[in-house]
Amino acid sequence: MKLTKTKKIRLDKTFYKELLNNLPEKIFYKDKNLRYIIINRSFADDLGIKPEEIEGKTDLDIFPHNIAEKYRKDDRGIIKTGKPIHIIDPYCPPDKKYVVQCIKIPVKDKKGNVIGMLGMAYDITDKVRLIKKLQKNVKEFQETFEDIIKTMMDIVETKDPYTSGHQKKTVQLACAIAKEMGCPRKQIEDIKIASSIHDLGKIFIPMDILNKPAKLDDVEFAFVKTHPVNGYKLLNDIKLLSPVAKIVYQHHERLNGAGYPEGTRDGKISLEARIIAVADVVEAMTSHRPYRTAYPLEEALKEIEKNAGALYDKDVVKITIKLFREKNFSFQT
């Protein structure tokens, strides 16, 4: 049986009314004077009224004054600009408190004039609560992780007291180089962690070698050259630290293959390791050691400048020199 136009309109209204009232989202329509014309059952139940009782009311009739004024300010902006907004707001019906994600869009007549607005609000209170809990857990994890890194640094310095502060200062310079080079945040974070513990493998080297007040012989130096490998083995077994293990492994490699432990050349050495290599050399040369006094800074800079492209990455060297000579970088104790 074919429906008459009147019956079809009536059926459409019934359908859309039922659909509107059975959606869990809070849906409303306001006129351009910010008076409620329609709300659905979900919204009405929160307010403790029937949907038909809302007509003519404003937010000032329903919500605390400060929240109502916030809603009205947003609404006036939509009426004036004719542009939709997407906001996260507190939502405080009587005796309740939510956080809602709300989409408000202008409703226009055929001439394009704004005659009201349609809004839809989703309850995201539980999501916000979970996000805050997650943020707290991440912060606590980050603090614990940083404590672990600091403990590793302390272990190395206890084993090798003559290089106390070496890793900390290497971190300062390596991170400054990475930032000046425009490295992404994740890469800078890996450089920070790797440079903090780049000498971790030294805990396996005898103290009489580490603290020897004279030049090491070939056998002793061979012991020292094992520390990148030992550091790699320790870190690679820890899932959270395995991404920086290879950086630690390569921090004594040199572009021309003269480094250790593998004699890796040029393109096979990661940028992170190249940055730490330069920072490590500059810091080590400008610090006192049992077998020599500290070199002047300019001598250390001349060393990396002379060997740029052979031992050290040219771009890294260029940035390092710029930091010291033009930007007044200095190590903080």
Closest CA to 59 of 20, 22, 90, 86: 90
What is the reported pLDDT for 3?
Answer: 45
Amino acid identity of residue 256, one-letter, is N
Starting at the edge strand that comes first in sequence, how are the strands of the sheet with 98-108 ordered?
36-39, 26-31, 114-123, 98-108, 85-91
* Residues 308 and 322 sit within 8 Å (Cβ to Cβ): no
| Surface-to-core class of residue 237, CB atoms within 10 Å of its CB (0-12 exposed, 13-18 middle, 19+ buried) | exposed
pLDDT in tens, the chain (333 residues): 454 555 444 545 666 667 677 777 888 999 999 999 988 888 888 888 888 888 899 999 988 888 889 889 999 999 999 999 888 877 776 677 778 888 899 999 988 999 999 988 888 888 878 878 877 877 877 777 788 888 887 878 776 666 668 888 999 999 999 999 999 999 999 999 999 999 988 888 888 888 787 888 888 888 889 999 999 998 998 888 888 999 999 999 999 999 999 999 888 999 999 999 999 999 999 988 777 888 999 999 999 999 999 999 999 999 999 999 999 999 987
Residues 91 and 128: their CA atoms lie apart, in Å, by: 13
Residues 258 and 92: their CA atoms lie apart, in Å, by: 69
Count how many residues are written for the chain.
333
309 in the Ramachandran plot: left (φ > 0), alpha (ψ -120 to 50) or beta?
left
Fold of the domain built from segment(s) 146-325: Hypothetical protein af1432 (1.10.3210)
For the chain, the domains span 19-128, 146-325
Choose the CATH number for 19-128 among 3.30.450.20, 3.40.50.150, 2.102.10.10, 3.90.1750.10: 3.30.450.20
> What are the tokens at 289?
């050691």
| Surface-to-core class of residue 30, CB atoms within 10 Å of its CB (0-12 exposed, 13-18 middle, 19+ buried) | buried
> What are the tokens at 121?
């609000």
